[in-house]
């Protein structure tokens, strides 16, 4: 069976020679079974795969999947925005190497850096615009979070509005619905963050990413993140779609 992804050709060393049975069974599952069942289009597939690989800290697989994504038509700006967006959810300590890895893939393809800037807010507008995005996704729950926050934690609520949403969600390159799906994939792959995953499953529904999209995202990710995190995500999806 020939390689049907860059995963076992460009960046993985010699697995196709040393572990041919593994290559065959993984390709059959990840790029056959899971892909056929997910129902996601090409762009949406990589909107969930790339952030999940950042959260999983798998730089070799990430570079291969980024190459696949670019081959499938994802733009460099879209790919770059996924890696930037990840900072808010996995932290710079985990995201840094993936920004560098993406730049390496871009350089190999002759893509000139830096890419066009995508910021739409500044120091004066980031809080108000971020808060507006939060309210647009989560509604009255945002005001309730501010009202119930202990005084010594209120600054975290402000950070969420100004930084997470004001600095990242307002950027160009990806729209809010796409960013919510990226967020869902990041939190799913991190594991152990089910309360936040449930909240962002609810947020995805609010911006138009329905149950079929979320289940499709989990389906795509099963081969890469494993069953425990995938089953936890399905439980979160079921919880919010049963409300």
Q: Render pLDDT for 81-123 as a digit per residue (tens, 0 to 9).
A: 999 999 999 999 999 999 999 999 999 999 999 999 999 999 9
The two structure tokens encoding residue 162:
């100004």
Q: Is the pTM of this model over 0.85?
A: yes
Give every residue of the chain whose pLDDT is below 70, as ranges.
1-3, 10-13
Q: Say if residues 33 and 59 touch (Cβ distance below 8 Å).
A: no
- What is Dmax (Cα atoms) for the chain? 60
What lies within 8 Å, CB to CB, of 45 at 6+ separation is 35, 38, 72, 220
Q: Say if residues 141 and 195 touch (Cβ distance below 8 Å).
A: no
Rounded-to-integer distance, Cα 234 and Cα 140, Å: 25
The two structure tokens encoding residue 91:
């932290």
């Amino acid at each position: 069976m020939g390689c049907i992804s860059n995963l076992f050709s460009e960046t993985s060393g010699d697995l196709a020679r040393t572990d041919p049975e593994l290559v065959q069974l993984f390709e059959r599952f990840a790029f056959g079974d899971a892909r056929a069942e997910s129902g996601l289009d090409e762009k949406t597939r990589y909107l969930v795969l790339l952030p999940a690989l950042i959260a999983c800290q798998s730089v070799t697989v990430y570079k291969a999947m980024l190459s696949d994504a670019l081959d499938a038509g994802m733009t460099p700006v879209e790919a770059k925005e996924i890696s930037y967006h990840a900072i808010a959810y996995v932290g710079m300590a985990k995201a840094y190497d993936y920004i560098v890895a993406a730049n390496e893939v871009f350089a190999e393809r002759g893509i000139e850096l830096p890419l066009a800037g995508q910021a739409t807010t500044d120091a004066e507008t980031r809080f108000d615009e971020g808060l507006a995005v939060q309210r647009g996704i989560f509604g009255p729950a945002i005001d309730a979070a501010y009202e119930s926050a202990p005084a010594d934690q209120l600054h975290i609520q402000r950070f969420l509005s100004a930084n997470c949403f004001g600095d990242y969600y307002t950027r160009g390159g990806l729209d809010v619905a796409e960013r919510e799906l990226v967020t869902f994939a990041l939190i799913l792959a991190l594991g152990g963050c089910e309360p936040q995953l449930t909240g962002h499953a609810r947020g995805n529904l609010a911006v138009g990413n329905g149950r079929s999209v979320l289940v499709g995202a989990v389906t795509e990710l099963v081969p890469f993140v494993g069953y425990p995190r995938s089953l936890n995500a399905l439980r979160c999806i079921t919880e919010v779609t049963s409300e």
